[in-house]
Amino acid sequence: MPTDKVAPTEKVAPAEELAPAEKSAAGCGGELVLGSPVSCAVISGQERHTYTVRTTVDGERLLTNFVSGGNDAQATLILSDGGTCYVGAYSDGCQAPQAGVHTIEVFLNYSEGSTSYALGVESQTNPSKCVTVDSFAANGPKLSGKLPRGAAGDCYRIDGKAGMRLTAEMTQTAADGNTNLADVRGWMQNPAGERICPIQFGGGECTLETDGEYRVFLADNYAGATDYTFRLVRTDVVTGCDSLREAGFGALSAGQSASGAIPTGEYRCYAVDLSSGLKFVQFRDGGQILWDLTGTNGSVCGKYSTEYRPCEVAAGAYTLWLRNQDWTFDPVAFSVSIADLGATEGCAAQSGTQWNQPAQVVTPASPVEFWCQPFTAAAGERVRAYVSGGGLSWITDATGARICDGQDSSQDGCLLPGSGPYRLIGEVDGDDEVKLQIRSLSAPAGCPVITPGAYGSAPAGAFSGNRCRVLSVPAAGRHLVRVVDGESYEPWAQIYNAAGLKACSAGYLCNFPAAGEYTLVIGSGVEESQYATVFTAPNGPGCLPVSDQGLADAAYRGSLSVAGETDCLELRDSVAGATIDVLLPTRAADAARPGWTLINGAGENLCETNSCKLAGPAPYRILLSSSEGVAAGEYALIVQRTDRITGCAALPLGAIGDNSGVTTAFSADRFATCYTIPAGQHATSEIFSHLPVNGGTGTAVFTVLDETGRVVCGSEWDVTYQLIHCGLTTGKAYTAVLVAQPANVQYRVSRRDASPAGAKCQAPASTVLGGPGAAGTLTGAGDVRCYRVSTSASAVFWLGLRSTDHTARYRITDAAGKALCDGFVYPCRVSGSTSYQVFVRPVAGRASVPYRFDAWNLGTKDKPAAQCEKAYGAPGFGTLTGTLGDQRTAICVAVPVKNRSEFLVRLTNTAGRAEIPESYYFRLGGPVDWTSPCSWSSRGGQDCEVSLPSSEPTGIALFVLAPETPGGTFPFKADTTCYYEPCTIPYVLGSVSPNSALNSGPVNLSLRGNAFSATDTVTLTRSGSASIKAAVRSFVNGTLTVTADVTNAAAGAWNVTIRSAKDGRQATIAGAVTVRATALKLTKAPSISGTVRVGSTVKAVAGSWSPAATGYAYQWSANGVAIKGAVGYAYQIPAAQRGKRLTVTVTAKRANRVNSPAVSAGVTVGWGIAPAATMKPKITGTVKVGKTVKAAAGAWSPSASSYRYEWRLNGKVIKGATASKLKLKKAWKGKKLTVVVIAKRAGHYDGKATSKALKIK
């Protein structure tokens, strides 16, 4: 409640009375005084606390507020006439049609548990207290208030005048000091008692339409205890603002800027006289402050209406308003100025648009300056402004307008409209220096002219700090244009035609449409660095010949001597259709690895458009340039036609396990070679390998190409050693290419038959789960072994490789040669093929690698292998013990799973050693995939988990223990701990069906599990509810059938527990049965009582339900649309609803039942009763010819909103006499004059009354 200035006739409670009275549970309820909230410590169970509220006048409007702990309670206001109003948080209103005593009922939502609450009621019609506000200055005093918990609201009174514009400023803090929990809101009420303007989020705006007393009501939105401050500022007649002077450009003088800090929710204002024209409000605040510039007619421009754009004003006095809207609740610092964009004061000296002049520099003295740079240019000229630093900037004329807006955004620069004078203007950004350049694109001056240069030499355009070059293009067509700095980095650069329009970008082969001069411009900001320009024609001089058979001939060697140099190699013997590649040594870097482009005689990039296949006119050329960051250096490369490779050595086909292959020596002069693979002399699948021999080091890239030059397989990167599986097509020839480092090293290259039909493979030692694995030792890099597993397509196999530190790896293919689980270190589960080939290889750098290969038949999707022990539920197998080694390699347990299974396994070595077997848990019917071990858990042990897909909610999972490495023995003990009951084999509840039931009657349940009997007991339990004992009906084929009476049981998940009658053991499935609440049955529909017309109050007749409802909720609707706030038992019909179909939805409620809504029949809202004259109209004035008389409307009930008049002579209507005044004509003398007043009220029939007749003299 307010604690500041009050009206003289009012009494304000002392501070100690402001807190709500705290009542014990026994004392809650009783009389509730308007404006004095109460707080109740506790309400429990089915208690109902009753309060009474007294109103003194008919139609009194009440404000209510209510809050409870956890929102567990609710309250209803029951009016003396039987109507109801909802009472809750968000201070709400309720009109009491009749004066008297009304009741508020408080109760728990579900009649269970307990909570505290606070409740308050205030009169909106006759507030218990209302503070008068009579100061509206911007710097006027703040009013402070305290809202106790549950307070319905505070009231403020204003003597308002029509046309007043008011802004509310409000801060708030919860009583515990937490600003984030306070949310004070409210509204302004006009003299007619209507809500007109909201106040929320720290403020609000309102324009008063009539004279009279206005009121502001404020309350905490969540009914919490809140401290707040409140101030109203008049914005149409502003007082108390600081002054601000209009600024020009450049340095600001005294009074032309303002700065400070604004606390959250508060305002600052500045009075400023502005000349006519465009202004820019220059602001620095971080974006949290809202600003608005207002004049005599209200807002002219603001942050969201004109931010980033000028604001046009007429000359006059204005006010700049600043408001901190930041919800971080910290003060926000700001600086502000208002620049006159049409001013010339402070502009820099006129500049030209020549490219060779230095950049202009602006050094700001204030963070809110605006700078101005006039420049000389002709109308229709295309110019571009480059600005580095600062904020917004734009090209303008004398007005300051953005004259380039709306032009083609795909083009750069501005096509100057009008006749000037032209200027570039913009913001500064703090104290950062601003650099700017204004340059002409269509009439460039001061740019060096460059003609095409030669390949193999320095760039055609020498290094220069001028960002502009004029390219003299001798003929239409493509030319290479690049821009480089001293380290070969290429900045962005754009090329323009004579009109200043984009032609192309540098860094590529630019296709010039015609001969002539084009302008090259570097960068997009202010550029003053040194750059050179590469400009050459596709057929330019300096190109050297090169063979396209570099693998057979020598490598080409060259050097790039300066930054930007472009070397050219011409393929003089190549023909159209040939495919070209450029081979560079592996690990080549810097200058030794130049970038390259393949072009034809027309300058087309053939690797971009044609996959490096020669097309179009000759000559075909390779253009070479340094990588970025490298200015110069030597390089070596091989140009090779890949669809016709000659001079290659033979590479014989070997078998798995042999030592076939060829050895090739490389040197500083030789870094690439090739091998031929003739058609008809290869398998459909082969393994290629390359590795250095005799302890050599280095990296290489190996590729296999078909007859067209297409790469069919190969290395993804350069490596020391690699095995590559490659599929080859019967009848086609292939070529293998090996590219290495230019060093003295020898590589052994081989290929082996890996096809399903031709691969030399062994059979596994055993396919029995847990049988011995095949033993082997890989003798070194390049050694490959193969095992073939023959089976049925339905069988699921475990294919695994055991080696120390995973130094042996495998690759699996099926009967069709398709790769499965390539390169994995964990076992792979496969199915769906009749055979599998497993290729075993060592990792790089290993000379001797012992391994064991395991191939276990796990069974089929629905039937585990016979070696798997059966468990009823996860884990369901208790403690496992045994010894694993090379002869007994695994133990297995088959676990039925529904949806998900998870348990913890703790493994120990019973011999006291550290080594333990690996544990695996996986879905038997899953897809082909690798099998990772159970993950280590923070609980100690390994966490084993299986989740089944929703399409197959039940299945079988296998728990497998197996050694990870070959050799040795592993005596073990495995203890399993289930995360979910039941976890033992002897007594298990496996399933309950159905898993849901309606609470409208008994339900039959079927229980399946282990060790049941017909004498066992079954109980349904749920926290907070009485248990339900089920009656056993039958026990047949392991299924126990019971009946449980769940009539009116609480909705939700119920646990099902079965208890052994024999030994008392029990098992439970938590949440096994979900009880679903059912709706109440409607036996008689709701209806509306009362006369359904505007102004009348109608009531809802709830109807009848079975079983009977214990409570109701209401929602009134018009034409099927819910009426906001109309949630009471009664509803007074406003004029806006006339002619609409009125319905009420009654929602019946009962514990443990679904809330059940029903809608009444619709009734059309009729016209309200006509206003009736309580005091008849009369004629005032002298009733004499020539005089003007007036009609006094009289008094009406209900009140009229407007009047119409009919003047009559001797009872006859005077045509056109419908005003409230009438001048008496000579011809009317002696006749009797009357006036009929027609009273109008929205939504009501018109009322009529006739005055007493008077004789005209």
Q: Are residues 788 and 804 in the same domain?
A: yes
5 domain-assigned? no
279 domain-assigned? yes
The CA distance from 1075 to 998, in Å, is 6
- The DSSP line for 59-89 is TEEEEEEEEEGGG-EEEEEE-TTS-EEEE-S
Q: What is the pLDDT of residue 902?
A: 82
The CA distance from 41 to 119, in Å, is 12
Buried b (16+ CB within 10 A) or exposed e, 629-646: ebbebebbbbbbbbbebe
Q: What CATH number is associated with residue 295?
A: 2.60.120.380
Tokens of 208: 């008063």
Domain count within the chain: 10
Q: Are residues 956 and 1006 in the same domain?
A: no
Q: What is the pLDDT of residue 4?
A: 41
Q: What is the pLDDT of residues 363-419, one digit of tens each?
A: 999 999 999 999 999 999 999 999 999 999 999 999 999 999 999 999 999 999 999
Going by pLDDT thresholds of 50, 70 and 90, the confidence category of residue 623 is very high
Tokens of 127: 């507030």
Q: What CATH number is associated with residue 1059?
A: 2.60.40.10
R_g of the chain computed on alpha carbons: 47
Q: What is the pLDDT of residue 206?
A: 93
Q: Are residues 795 and 915 in the same domain?
A: yes
The CA distance from 1061 to 1011, in Å, is 11
Of 82, 99, 123, the residue that ends a domain is 123
Q: Are residues 353 and 434 in the same domain?
A: yes
Going by pLDDT thresholds of 50, 70 and 90, the confidence category of residue 693 is confident
Q: What is the pLDDT of residue 874?
A: 52
The CA distance from 967 to 850, in Å, is 9
Cis amide prior to 1198 (ω within 30 degrees): yes
Q: What is the three-class DSSP state of 695?
A: coil
Q: HSE of 780 in the Cβ direction (CA atoms, 13 Å)? A: 10
Q: What is the pLDDT of residue 91?
A: 64
Is residue 1181 within 8 Å of 1187, Cβ to Cβ? Answer: yes
9 domain-assigned? no
Mention every residue, 6+ apart, whose C-beta is less than 8 A from residue 936. Answer: 942, 943
Global confidence as pTM: 0.61
Going by pLDDT thresholds of 50, 70 and 90, the confidence category of residue 192 is very high
756 domain-assigned? no
The CA distance from 169 to 321, in Å, is 12
Q: Are residues 1032 and 1120 in the same domain?
A: no
Q: What is the pLDDT of residues 796-818, one digit of tens each?
A: 999 999 998 889 999 999 999 99
Looking at residue 775, its amino acid is A
Tokens of 29: 């309820």
Q: Are residues 229 and 362 in the same domain?
A: no
Asked if pLDDT for residue 32 goes beyond 50, the answer is: yes
- The DSSP line for 183-222 is -EEEEEE-TTS-EEEEEBTTEEEEE--SSEEEEEEEEETT
The CA distance from 1106 to 1204, in Å, is 56
Q: Are residues 1177 and 1230 in the same domain?
A: yes
CB atoms within 10 A of CB 805: 10
Give the residue-averaged pLDDT of 1056-1079: 90
Lowest mean pLDDT among 675-679, 984-988, 1118-1122, 1212-1216: 984-988
Measured CA distances, 646 to 275, 377, 572 (Å): 85, 65, 17
Nearest to 842 by CA among 706, 977, 979, 689: 689
Residue that wins the pLDDT comparison between 449 and 943: 449
Q: What CATH number is associated with residue 1106?
A: 2.60.40
Q: What is the pLDDT of residue 1147?
A: 94
Q: What is the pLDDT of residues 268-298, one digit of tens each?
A: 999 999 999 999 999 888 778 889 999 988 8
Q: Are residues 175 and 119 in the same domain?
A: no
Q: Are residues 517 and 614 in the same domain?
A: yes
760 domain-assigned? no
Q: Domain containing 195: what range? A: 131-234
766 domain-assigned? no
The percent of residues in the chain predicted with pLDDT above 70, rounded, is 95
Q: What CATH number is associated with residue 429?
A: 2.60.120
The CA distance from 382 to 496, in Å, is 11
Is residue 824 within 8 Å of 810, Cβ to Cβ? Answer: yes
The CA distance from 667 to 664, in Å, is 10
Q: What is the pLDDT of residues 899-923, one digit of tens each?
A: 888 888 889 999 999 899 999 999 9
Q: Are residues 741 and 813 in the same domain?
A: no
Going by pLDDT thresholds of 50, 70 and 90, the confidence category of residue 1237 is very high
Mean pLDDT of the chain: 90
Q: Are residues 805 and 858 in the same domain?
A: yes
Q: What CATH number is associated with residue 1237?
A: 2.60.40.2700
603 domain-assigned? yes
Residue that wins the pLDDT comparison between 1011 and 499: 499
The CA distance from 796 to 957, in Å, is 12
In this structure, what DSSP letter does residue 345 have? T
Q: What is the three-class DSSP state of 819?
A: strand
Tokens of 1074: 């979900």
Of 218, 234, 250, the residue that ends a domain is 234
Going by pLDDT thresholds of 50, 70 and 90, the confidence category of residue 875 is low
Q: Are residues 1129 and 1196 in the same domain?
A: no
930 domain-assigned? yes
Q: HSE of 42 in the Cβ direction (CA atoms, 13 Å)? A: 8
Of 1145, 1164, 1183, the residue that ends a domain is 1164
